[in-house]
Structures are given as C-alpha cells and as structure tokens.
Amino acid sequence: MSIIRTENLNNFYGDLQVLKDINMEIEQGEVWVIIGPSGAGKSTLLRSLITLEDFTSGKIFLDDELFIHREDSKVVEQMEASRYKQKLLEMGMVFQRFNLFPNKTVLGNVTLAPMNVLGKSEEEANEIALNLINRVGLSDKVDFYPSKLSGGQQQRVAIARALAMEPEIMLFDEPTSALDPELVGEVLNVMKDLATQGMTMMVVSHEMGFAREVADKVIFMADGAILETGTPDELFTNPKTDKARQFLASIL
C-alpha cells in the first residue's frame, strides 16, 4: 500500500513552473533521498504534500484515498474535513531551520501538539515526550529553552516534536544543511535509527553517505521534474542523464 501517491502534481509561481507533472508513489517503510540542484523544486514538492504550499493542479492520495485534488489553483475535491485534518497529521515535517518554539522548553515543544491537537493529558504527553527526547539523546536537556541548544540538538528536538504526533511518514527538508559540519552526524544518526525502525521517510539531502546507508531510492530532481529514480548505487555510480551526472560531479 502506498503511503503517498501523486498524480500530475504541478505548481506555478506566476509563469515559473516549479513542479512539472510529478507522479510519485512511496510505499510503507521506504526511505527516499531526494537530490538535485538548488531551485529544482525539492522543497516545493515536500511543502505541497503537507499543504504548506497550495499547488496549482494535480491529485494527492494518502493510503490510496484521495486527499486533495486541485485544478487551476482551486480545490476540486477534498477529503471530508475532520478526516482531512486527521490524515494531514499522519505527515510529520522537519525543516532546515528547525523552527522550534522559542517560548517553550524542549519538553514544551514536544508536548504542545499532543496536548492541544490530540487532546492528550499532560501526564500522557510528558511520558511520550520524555521517551522520544531520550531516543534523540537529549534527556539532560528536557528543561532547556531552544536558544540554549546547539543547532544539532535543536534539530533533534524538532525530530522528537514531529514524532510525538505519531506520523506515518516523515518529510525532511535539508535537515542538516544549516548545521556546522561537526553537528551533522548526530542528526543523521537519529534519522538512521528512525529508518531502521521502519519509518517511511522522504529526505531532501545531499548527504551521500546517509543515502547509501539507508535510502531505498534516490530521486534526482531538476527544473521541477523527477528526472531519475534508482537505488543509491545506480544513481550515484551510473547516472543516466547529463544533468544528474553534472550535478553529482558538482557536489562530490
């Protein structure tokens, strides 16, 4: 069963087409790494899936059920409201710039949505949160405010915060590119753990080592389109298109 499937997803900013007929299907438990030059539309794709971006046209299916269908920038068909909301929560997202809530402690960041959106009691939310915070290795920072944490620690909190909503799939938009090089590893390790435990993941990242280690598929995007799909080995050692070859040469 596919967790997310898209049909001819298109997005325009004025005359600029940033997504071109994206047809993709990600299965339960798969880990995708999406690569491609800046401006390729990688962020726009993730943001469209999680409805941060109102794409121009196309369909998104979640668990084989129509989630939203848009044409001419307008909604044509959409899941019934309460179900739509619930389905949306099955996607978690981690941002390049963490976007932690600076007025909440680490624990507060992780418990906020479970308590206010899922209606969990404080006790229950705390228990889940402490578990997750432990899982990302930050048990000693529970009461810290984000500004007192390193970038790597903040990003790990952001991952725990997303996981607290018990998502089916996690979207990562360049989760390590705002980090100092020495902090990249700790975040990738948490993500590798997640992958090993069977989480479905779409990760925009140029970390080749990570891709080789955990990705089932590497997707190469350029100019708003998916140009190549393959295993890490296929794509990294044997790219078919010139664009991919050039791009890989530029980041190695």
Question: Alpha helices of the chain — where are they, by DSSP H?
Answer: 42-49, 81-88, 106-116, 122-135, 151-163, 181-196, 208-214, 232-237, 242-251
User: 162 and 114 in contact (C-beta within 8 Å)?
Assistant: no
Task: Tell the smallest beta-carbon distance from residue 53 to ligand ADP (Å).
Answer: 8
Which of another protein, Mg ion, ligand ADP, none does residue 145 bind to, with CB < 5 to 8 Å depending on kind?
Answer: another protein
Task: Tell the smallest beta-carbon distance from residue 149 to Mg ion (Å).
Answer: 23
Specify the 3-state DSSP secondary structure of 80: coil
Nearer Cβ to ligand ADP (173/186): 173
Report if residue 38 touches ligand ADP, rule: CB under 6 A. yes
Reading the block at residue 68, the tokens are 């939203």
In the list 3, 9, 22, 40, the residue contacting ligand ADP (rule: CB under 6 A) is: 40
Task: Tell the smallest beta-carbon distance from residue 155 to ligand ADP (Å).
Answer: 17
Task: Tell the smallest beta-carbon distance from residue 228 to ligand ADP (Å).
Answer: 15
How many CA within 13 A on the CB side of residue 220? 21
Pairing status of strand 31-35 against strand 16-27: unpaired
Task: Tell the smallest beta-carbon distance from residue 47 to Mg ion (Å).
Answer: 9
Reading the block at residue 234, the tokens are 């296929």
Report if residue 145 touches another protein, rule: CB under 8 A. yes
Report if residue 97 touches another protein, rule: CB under 8 A. yes
Nearer Cβ to another protein (177/241): 177
Under rule CB under 6 A, how many of the chain's residues touch ligand ADP?
10
In the list 28, 64, 76, 85, the residue contacting another protein (rule: CB under 8 A) is: 85
Could you tell me which residues are beta bridge partners of residue 204?
34, 173
Report if residue 155 touches ligand ADP, rule: CB under 6 A. no
Which of another protein, Mg ion, ligand ADP, none does residue 217 bind to, with CB < 5 to 8 Å depending on kind?
Answer: none
Footprint on this chain of Mg ion (rule: CB under 5 A): 43
Report if residue 43 touches ligand ADP, rule: CB under 6 A. yes
User: 82 and 27 in contact (C-beta within 8 Å)?
Assistant: no
Site residues for ligand ADP, window 18-37 (CB under 6 A)?
18, 36
Site residues for another protein, window 13-72 (CB under 8 A)?
50-52
Lateral strand order in the sheet of 169-173: 91-94, 169-173, 200-204, 31-35, 217-222, 225-230
Report if residue 99 touches another protein, rule: CB under 8 A. yes
Distance CA 7, CA 21 (A): 7
Lateral strand order in the sheet of 2-13: 16-27, 2-13, 57-62, 65-71, 74-78
Residues that bind another protein (CB under 8 A): 50-52, 85, 88-89, 91-93, 95, 97, 99-104, 112-113, 116-117, 145, 147, 158, 161-162, 165
